[in-house]
Every structure is written in structure tokens, then in C-alpha cells.
Amino acid sequence: MIHALNNVPKIVYGFGAVAQAGSEIVRLGGSRVFIVTDPGIAALGLLEPLKSSLVEAGLAFEVFDKAELEPSTSSIHVCADAAKAFKADCVVGIGGGSSLDTAKAALVMLSNEGSIEDYFGMQMVKNPCLPALYVPTAAGTGSEVTSISVLGDPKSGAKFGVVSDYMYASVVLLDPDLTIGLPPHITAMTGLDAFVHAMESFVGLASTPFTDAYNIQAMKLIAANLRKAYANGDNKEARAAMLYAATLAGMGFSQTQNGIIHAVGTNLPVSCKVPHGLAMAALAPMGMSFNCIAAPEKYAQIAEILGVEAGGTALDAARKGIDAMYALLSDVGIVPGLKAYNVPREALEGTAERAAKAKRLMGNNPRKATAKQILVLLEAHY
Ligand SMILES: [Fe+2]
């Protein structure tokens, strides 16, 4: 088997790391910096240390603070047009996954013709991108180190991924200071999204010893720190560990893609507006229970990471791991299943059909699944 390991060339990690933005952009040859973020990040004042660093380095910049939560394709064109009008030669994405995904997709449009829809799928982007620097403000999506931007198509309501090796950042700044103010429920759902990334990549058909290394470490850090970060957001040690974990998980799943939890969770009806991380968290036990017979040894390892004591067969341990996941969800205030999030029972069939067709995700899932099987599963975990 031949496989590639792709990563961003440079990560700068530490409390206050965002102050390195200016010098990193100068090193990359940038002079006109287009900052992509969302209105919430701007309002919280999280842009200030970034702006100070750019001013100190003598760089011109413009802020685009209209990144949408779960970005639509049309929002990408608005963002890219603004960057072109500013004559940007460098893009900085700062915020949660939606801001970073907006920055990444807009970046594609700065060096490629047509519309972003032309680049849906794997490795469809034709031309290399401008230098880009990403700064996450939550420990969750890992978008800062992945080569994917997930967008909603307003015409079909479906979610699509633009995946290209050209979309890797030139530099990532990981500054746990920026995550300190995240409220507990956001900490919980983003942290569990990161755990699901690591888990789905770890058990996936495309996993390798390289990705196992990232994913095992990511799951260990989350299992040991998510409850602490949820219970006390000011716990710097826990915040620092969670940011490492989310990025490690991103480095893992960027090589492999995810699995059934993401296939279902990203195909819930758009009208239900279930936040991505919350959907991943609520569906995590469902994915574990469906998949564990396909990869019991790996699920037994996950169980051990979640605190299950060794003993019995691998499958016994794997099943205890599902209970451990339920306990983790309960401790961080997340109700499993879809009923609690106003997903109507009638929507399950369509969700199952779309999930079964999500080849990028289901192609990596260790257990094959028909739409009918997924529907039965969703009914059982509703
Ligand atoms: Fe995710």
C-alpha cells in the first residue's frame, strides 16, 4: 500500500503565540493581509493581539468579519470578492471551524477561476494557493491543519467538501489563550468533535501507523482534559492540552477522512440547525455501537483510553467503551441521540439515504452500511 502523509509546514504553539503573526507573514513574503473571521470573534476582542502584531510588522490588513456559521457557497464568493478588491497577497483565518473553512475556500478562489462548486470533491483544485496563516479560537474542528473546507450548497441543502493539498496552511498559530473564554457547552461540543475525529480516523480503513500516533495521543489528551476544561474554563493546563488534542486529531483525519458519525451528522436536515460539534457528540455512541464488531481491537483501545479496565475479549472491552462514552457525554451535559435536538423522526430516512451516499466518509468507515441499515441504527439511537 502506498500512502502520503501531508501536513502544514510550520506550527507555532504557546500562550501568546498569536503575536508571531506579523513576523511569520513577513517571512512568507506577504504585505497585504486579508483577515477572515466571524462577527462573534470580532466582538469578543479576540482580533486585537493579531492586529497589534500586524501593525508592529508594518503590514496592511483588512478584516472580513462575515464568515457564516456552517458557511454557504455564496458566502465564499462574497469573501473572495472582498479579498480580491483589497488586492490581498496573504490570508489569515481566525476563529472556529466555520471561519477557517470560509478562509480556506476563499483562498482557493483567489488563484482559481470559476466558482467554488467547481472544486467540490477530492483534489479538484488546479492552482496552488497564496500563503495562508490559520489561528483557531476553539479546540475542536482541527480545520487549521486540514486540507478540507466543508460548505453547504444552498441549492440542494447538502454539505460538500473541497479537499486539496493546496489548501494546507503555510503556518498555524496555536494560542491556548484564545480558547480560555469559550463557554462550557461550546467547550464540550467542540472537544467531542475533536474526539470523534481522532476515533473515526483511528478505526478507519485508511488509518496508518502515522495517523494512529496522532489519533491515540489526541484521544488520550481529550479523555484526560475535556471534563476539566468543561468544569473550569480557566484551567490553563486543560485548555492547552485540548488545543494540542484538536490539532493532533486534525492532523490524523486530514490523511484518512472520517466515518459514519460524520456521514450522518453532516447530513442532518439543514433546517434543524444542529451545530456540527453537538451532532458529532450526540451521535458518537451510535457510531461506536455500529462499528465495534468490525474493528474490536481498535475499539478496545479506545475503551481503555476512556478509562475501561482491561479484561474479557476485545469486543467485551469495545462495548464497555460505549458506556464510557455515554458517561463522558453525561458529565459534559450532552444528551445523546437526535430527538433532543428537534430532528423530526420523519427526517431520519432522508438523513440515512444521504449518509449512505457520502462516499468520502463512508469509504473510510470500517463497517459498510446501506441506507436501510443506517436508518435502523438512527431509529435505535433516536
Ligand atoms: Fe467534525
Domains of the chain: 11-179 (3.40.50.1970), 184-380 (1.20.1090.10)
**60-94: per-residue pLDDT in tens?**
999 999 999 889 999 999 999 999 999 999 999 99
**325-366: per-residue pLDDT in tens?**
999 999 999 999 999 999 999 999 999 999 999 998 999 999
Q: How far is the CA of 141 from the centre of ligand 1 (A)?
A: 5
- Is-contact 194 140, C-beta < 8 A? yes
The helix (run of H) or strand (run of E) holding residue 323 is helix 314-331
Q: How far is the CA of 261 from the centre of ligand 1 (A)?
A: 9
- Is-contact 170 131, C-beta < 8 A? yes
pLDDT over 90 at 375, yes or no: yes
**218-234: per-residue pLDDT in tens?**
999 999 999 999 999 99
Q: How far is the CA of 249 from the centre of ligand 1 (A)?
A: 10
**CA dist 345 → 23, 182, 379, 380, 381 (Å):** 53, 32, 8, 11, 11
Q: How far is the CA of 277 from the centre of ligand 1 (A)?
A: 6
Rg over CA atoms, the chain? 20
**228-259: per-residue pLDDT in tens?**
999 999 999 999 999 999 999 999 999 999 99
Beta-strand ranges (E) seen in the chain are 11-13, 32-36, 60-64, 90-95, 121-122, 132-136, 148-152, 159-163, 171-174
- Is-contact 190 246, C-beta < 8 A? yes
Q: How far is the CA of 193 from the centre of ligand 1 (A)?
A: 5
Pull the grid cell for residue 229.
476544561
pLDDT of residue 1: 79
Q: How far is the CA of 127 from the centre of ligand 1 (A)?
A: 27
Task: Report the pLDDT averaged over residues 298-321.
Answer: 96
Q: How far is the CA of 282 from the centre of ligand 1 (A)?
A: 12
Q: How far is the CA of 250 from the centre of ligand 1 (A)?
A: 9
Q: How far is the CA of 18 from the centre of ligand 1 (A)?
A: 24
Q: Interior CA angle at 334 toward 94 and 175, to 5°?
A: 25
Adjacent-strand bridge partners of 10: none
Confidence of residue 271 (pLDDT cuts 50, 70, 90): confident
In this prediction the pTM is 0.95
Q: How far is the CA of 29 from the centre of ligand 1 (A)?
A: 32
**120-163: per-residue pLDDT in tens?**
999 999 999 999 999 999 999 999 999 999 998 777 767 889 99
Adjacent-strand bridge partners of 186: none
pLDDT of residue 159: 80
**Mean pLDDT taken over the chain:** 96
Distance CA 93, CA 141 (A): 14
Q: How far is the CA of 26 from the centre of ligand 1 (A)?
A: 32
C-alpha of 30 from chain center? 27
Q: How far is the CA of 194 from the centre of ligand 1 (A)?
A: 7
The 3-state DSSP class for residue 226 equals helix
pLDDT over 90 at 321, yes or no: yes
**174-223: per-residue pLDDT in tens?**
999 999 999 999 999 999 999 999 999 999 999 999 999 999 999 999 99
Burial call 144-157: b when 16+ CB within 10 Å, e when fewer: bbbbbbbbbbeeee
Q: How far is the CA of 283 from the centre of ligand 1 (A)?
A: 11
The 3-state DSSP class for residue 313 equals coil
**15-54: per-residue pLDDT in tens?**
999 999 999 999 999 999 999 999 999 899 999 999 999 9
